[in-house]
Amino acid sequence: MNKYKHILKDRSDAALKLKEILPMTKVRDEAWEFVAVSKGGLALAETLRGKLANRVDFLFSEAVNAPNNSSCEIARVCEGEEIVINEKLVEAFEIKYDYIYGEAHRKHEEKILSYMYQYRKGRHFPSMRDRVVLLIDEGSETGMKFMTALKAILSMKPKAVYIAVPVIPSDVLEQLEPFADEIFFLHDIDDYVETSLYYKDLPTVDEDRLEEILGD
């Protein structure tokens, strides 16, 4: 764990290093779509874009937590109500699927729709059909945000889907690899703890910043 502590200075440092491994000429010429899967990922995506004309967007999603443990994510739902379920946890805790689908619908109606109106003025996430998509986050504890985004984007029949993430757990990397055309990462970490540990400075992205990025 200590080997990777503060391995990155901040999001700007992470973006600069990702640019060294991303095919930036193709990113520009093929007009890759930058799609963030978290608030921090959105800030990273904007920094990564720099002066490029590529579009940046945010695919909103919400966690569905275990009924008796609000910190245990058992599923995730995104804008089109696509759901990814952690089957092992559901079986281990004997959680009913009716609960999962009910909670997913509630989270979609109460939270995700409100995010769409607040940050996109009601605009729905655009179709990615025949587009090249780059999913972006600053890290990934469980891979659930990426998996949910992959399920949603792949259903739109894109030309290709890539992932860019500075730090990622080794087991999550293995989990995601079959579903993405390629994953661009800086460090895969066996004993991953939490994303903030690997950055020296990782400030919270406030609402005004989100609206500014998505407004552009």
Confidence bin at 24 (pLDDT 50/70/90)? very high
Residue 2 clears pLDDT 80, i.e. is over it: no
Residue boundaries of the structural domains of the chain: 2-59+126-215, 61-120
Average pLDDT of the chain is 95
pLDDT of residue 122: 85
Whole-structure pTM value? 0.95
Residue 191 clears pLDDT 60, i.e. is over it: yes
pLDDT of residue 216: 66
Q: Find tokens 């109500």 and name the residue.
A: 81
- Tens of pLDDT, residue by residue over 91-128, are 999 999 999 999 999 999 999 999 999 998 888 999 99
Q: Distances from the Cα of 207 to the Cαs of 17, 83, 131, 211, 213, in angstroms? A: 27, 25, 28, 6, 10
Residue 8 clears pLDDT 60, i.e. is over it: yes
Residue 63 clears pLDDT 60, i.e. is over it: yes
Helix (H) or strand (E) holding 136: strand 132-136
Q: Distances from the Cα of 82 to the Cαs of 65, 70, 141, 181, in angstroms? A: 16, 21, 20, 20
Right CATH number for 2-59+126-215 from 3.30.420.40, 3.40.50.2020, 3.40.50.11860, 3.40.50.970? 3.40.50.2020
Strands 61-66 and 83-85 come out as unpaired
- Tens of pLDDT, residue by residue over 142-184, are 999 999 999 999 999 999 999 999 999 999 999 999 999 999 9
Residue 1 clears pLDDT 80, i.e. is over it: no
